[in-house]
Amino acid sequence: MTNTSRPIVRIHNAETNEIIDREMNDAELEAYEIQKENDKAAAAARAQKAADRAALLTQLGITEEQAKLLLG
Amino acid sequence: MATTTNYGWTTPDDTALVKDGASAIRTLGSSVDTTTKALNPSTTLGDIEYRSSTANTNTRLGIGSSGQVLTVSGGVPAWGTVAAGGTTILASGSLSGTATTISSISGSYIDLVLVIIGRVHGTANKAAAMRFNGDTGFNYYTSVTYGNDTGAGIATPPSDWLRTGGDAQATGTSYSQENIWIPNYASTAINKIAHMRSYTSNPSSPTLRHSIGYYASTSAITSISIMAESAATLTGGTYILYGVK
């Protein structure tokens, strides 16, 4: 029975020019879930870095533009 | 006996007897005939001649095959086949699914060029991404310079995929373009690099990027997966993969 909840991937065989749309297999699904987690963690890290930067600017009493000028 | 200046054909002297005229003409004609044939040894349609190492004697060169060009071999003209070159479309189509993978890429080219036009993602503000050979490891490194109408910067994106462009838009007509050149992709001796240039038409942050990607693997690249950050779906756009010799 087909599990329709799985994401679809497109495979284009450059040798035969055959294009197949199919559900992810187990390995692809595992990689898909890992990628989402990795990217979520990376996004959180970027957001934290931005928040830390904003907090530091506030602490220093300067704006983003002034910080850029300062750093050249 | 007198002779001509260039080819040394024998001609009658001024004092030669008239009765010997027929013989003299026959001798001269024979010489002319021999010389002409030596200078024009063609026998067949398309033949050409070139000077041989012997004076006043040309060598016949028969016509080559279709597509051949005149070249030089061993110091003389010869027909030769031009080495195959140029660009071949290996695959083209529309982006779809969580990833669009171009598989079974022939290793008989020197470089690959992948062009992606009009990329649209199912989720806004997700980066354009790519993987090789289905490799999900942290084997991708990218040095990015980017800019838009408000500034410029550098970025170090996640390394379990290669960032090929900025954040794609989620709806509407996308004018995004990515041009990715992968030299020596079939090598099994060196790690791979990718030169990536892109324009992303995300309305909130249209961005121009110039990136160098590094794939830490000596495996020949036989498949390329076009994908998006956070596994966002590909809902629009086309791709063309070229093999370059």
Q: List the domain boundaries for chain A.
A: 8-71
Q: For chain B, give the percent of residues with pLDDT over 90.
A: 70
Of B99, B104, B234, the CB nearest to A15: B104
Of B104, B134, B230, the CB nearest to A36: B230
CB-CB under 8 Å, B233 with A34: no
pTM of the model: 0.70
Read off the amino acid at residue B202: N
pLDDT over threshold 60, residue A1: no
Which of A34, A39, A65 is best to mutate for the B interface (most B CBs within 10 A)? A39
Residue B217: predicted pLDDT = 95
Residues B48-76 have a mean pLDDT of 94
pLDDT over threshold 60, residue B148: yes
Domains of chain B, first to last: 2-80 (no CATH), 87-244 (2.60.120)
Residue B167: predicted pLDDT = 84
Interface membership of B100 toward A (CB under 8 Å) = yes
- What interface predicted TM-score (ipTM) does this complex get? 0.73
Interface membership of B235 toward A (CB under 8 Å) = no
Residue B136: predicted pLDDT = 92
Residues B74-97 have a mean pLDDT of 92
pLDDT over threshold 90, residue B75: yes
In B, which residues are within 8 Å of A68 by CB distance?
Answer: 151
Residue B156: predicted pLDDT = 63
Of B103, B161, B231, the CB nearest to A14: B103
DSSP 8-state assignment for residue B187: -
Residue of B nearest to A46 (CA): B157
**In the structure, what pLDDT confidence band is assigned to residue B177 with cuts at 50, 70 and 90?**
very high
**pLDDT tens by residue, A18-54:** 999 999 999 999 999 998 998 888 889 889 998 999 9
Tell me whether strands B234-244 and B224-228 are parallel, antiparallel or unpaired: unpaired
How far is residue B30's CA from residue B191's CA, in Å, rounded to a whole number?
Answer: 72
Encoded tokens for A34: 């890992």
**What count of other Cβ atoms lies within 10 Å of the Cβ of residue A63?**
11
pLDDT over threshold 90, residue B174: no
How far is residue A53's CA from residue A48's CA, in Å, rounded to a whole number?
Answer: 8
Instruction: Give the torsion through C-alpha atoms of B97, B184, B146, A39, to 10 deg.
Output: 40
Interface membership of B91 toward A (CB under 8 Å) = yes
